[in-house]
């Protein structure tokens, strides 16, 4: 997206989070998950809660996630994490997170 910046964070070799952000939005991308285990899921929940607190502190009202509409496993994961379907954009399914599960 024009005007946005990216920050990639590898997490313990288990998965990677790419954060795309601008002054108007923050979007999470999960380009890599080695293996989904209960421990990895728990780690994601804790990190999402921490990042949500940070996002609110700097003034974001929501965190967005965008994924391929054919990726049902990833869709299930983001819904388990508390993201809600919002709309379609740029050929992707867009989800929103506001800290509520």
- Per-position b or e across 65-90, b if 16+ CB within 10 A of its CB: bbbeeeeeebbebbeebbbeeeeeee
pLDDT in tens, 34-91: 888 999 999 999 999 999 999 999 999 999 998 999 989 889 999 999 999 999 999 9
Q: Considering the entire predicted model, what is its pTM? A: 0.85
All structural domains of the chain, each given as residue ranges with its CATH number in brackets, are 5-97 (3.40.630.30)
């Amino acid at each position: 997206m024009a005007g946005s910046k990216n920050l990639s964070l590898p997490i313990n070799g288990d998965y990677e989070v790419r954060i795309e952000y601008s002054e108007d939005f923050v979007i999470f991308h999960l380009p890599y998950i080695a293996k989904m285990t209960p421990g990895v899921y728990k780690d994601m929940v804790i990190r999402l809660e921490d990042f949500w607190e940070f996002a609110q502190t700097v003034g974001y009202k929501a965190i967005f996630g965008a994924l391929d509409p054919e990726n049902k496993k990833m869709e299930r994961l983001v819904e388990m994490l508390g993201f809600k379907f919002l709309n379609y954009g740029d050929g992707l399914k867009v989800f929103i997170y506001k800290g509520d599960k």
